[in-house]
Amino acid sequence: MATETNNGTPDPRLEAALGTLWRQTEALDHLRSLAQDTAAQPVAQTQAWIAVKAQAERYVHDLEPWRRAKRLDALAGDLADQERLLSDRLKEAAAALDTTPPAIRQEAEGRQGIRIAIVGKGGAGKSMISATIARLLGRRGRPVLAVDLDTSHGMGYSLGVGTTDAALPPHALEEHGGSAYGWQLTGGLPAHLAVERHAITAPDGVRFLSLGKIEDLEKQSARRSVAAVRQVLAGFAEPGWDMIGDMEAGPTTAFERYHSFADLVVVVVGPAWRSALTARRLLPIVAGIPTLVVANRFRDEPDHEGLEPILRVPYDVDTARAEHRGLAPIDECPGSPAMVAVEQLVGLLVDHANAARSSSPTNPSPTNQEVAS
Ligand SMILES: Nc1ncnc2c1ncn2[C@@H]1O[C@H](COP(=O)(O)OP(=O)(O)OP(=O)(O)O)[C@@H](O)[C@H]1O
Ligand SMILES: [Mg+2]
Indicate whether 246 pLDDT > 90.
yes
CB atoms within 10 A of CB 169: 12
Cα distances (angstroms) measured from residue 41 to each of 34, 35, 157, 361:
10, 10, 38, 32
Output the CA torsion sign for 231, 233, 238, 239: negative
Q: How far is the CA of 130 from the centre of ligand 2 (A)?
A: 9
Report the residue among 164, 258, 323 best suited for mutation to probe ligand 1: largest number of ligand atoms under 8 A from its CB: 323
pLDDT band at 225 (very low <50, low <70, confident <90, very high): confident
Q: What are the residue ranges spanned by the domains of the chain?
A: 12-108, 113-170+201-213+237-372
pLDDT at 1 over 70: no
Q: How confident is the model over 98-108, as pLDDT tens digits?
A: 999 999 999 99
d(CA 261, CA 286): 12
* pLDDT cut 70: percent of the chain above it: 90
Residue 155 CA: nearest ligand 1 atom is 22
Percentage of the chain lying above the pLDDT 90 cut: 74
What mean pLDDT do residues 317-341 have? 97
**Burial category of 44 from C-beta neighbours within 10 Å (exposed 0-12, middle 13-18, buried 19 and up):** middle
| Ligand that lies nearest to the alpha carbon of residue 314, given by its number in the listed order | 1
How much is the pLDDT for 151?
A: 80
Ligand nearest to the CA of 124: 1
* pLDDT over 60 at 360, yes or no: no
Mean pLDDT of the region 286-296: 94
Per-residue pLDDT, averaged over 109-116, amounts to 95
In the reported structure, the alpha carbon of residue 61 is separated from the centroid of ligand 1 by a whole-number distance in angstroms of: 33
The per-residue pLDDT for 9 is 67
Residue 30 and residue 190 in contact, taking contact as beta carbons nearer than 8 Å:
yes
Residue among 118, 119, 127, 316 whose CB has most ligand 1 atoms within 8 A, to mutate: 127
Residue 164's pLDDT band, with cuts at 50, 70 and 90, is low
Average per-residue pLDDT for the chain: 90
Do the beta carbons of residue 178 and residue 15 sit within 8 Å? yes
Q: Which residues line ligand 1 (CB under 6 A)?
A: 120, 122-128, 150, 154, 249, 296-297, 313, 315-316, 319-320, 323, 338
**Band (241; pLDDT cuts 50, 70, 90):** very high
264-269 and 115-120 beta bridge pairing? parallel
Write the secondary structure of the chain as one string of H (helix), E (strand) and C (coil). Answer: CCCECCCCCECHHHHHHHHHHHHHHHHHHHHHHHHCCCCCCHHHHHHHHHHHHHHHHHHHHHHHHHHHCHHHHHHHHHHHHHHHHHHHHHHHHHHHHHCCCHHHHHHHHHCCCCEEEEEECCCCCHHHHHHHHHHHHHHCCCCEEEEECCCCCCHHHHHCCCCCCCCCCHHHEEECCCCHHHEEECCCCCHHHHHHHHCEECHHHCEEEECCCHHHCCHHHCCCCHHHHHHHHHHCCCCCCEEEEECCCCCHHHHCCHHHHCCEEEEEECCCHHHHHHHHHHHHHCCCCCEEEEEEEECCCCCCCCCCCCEEEECCHHHHHHHHCCCCHHHHCCCCHHHHHHHHHHHHHHHHHHHHHCCECCECCCCHHHHHC
Predicted structure pTM score? 0.92
pLDDT at 362: 38
CATH number of 113-170+201-213+237-372: 3.40.50.300
Partners of residue 268 on adjacent β-strands:
120, 294
Distance of CA 180 from the midpoint of ligand 2 (Å): 22
Q: What is the pLDDT of residue 356?
A: 80
Quick check: 212 pLDDT over 50? yes
- The protein residue whose alpha carbon is closest to atom 6 in ligand 1 is 320
Give the model's pLDDT for residue 366: 44
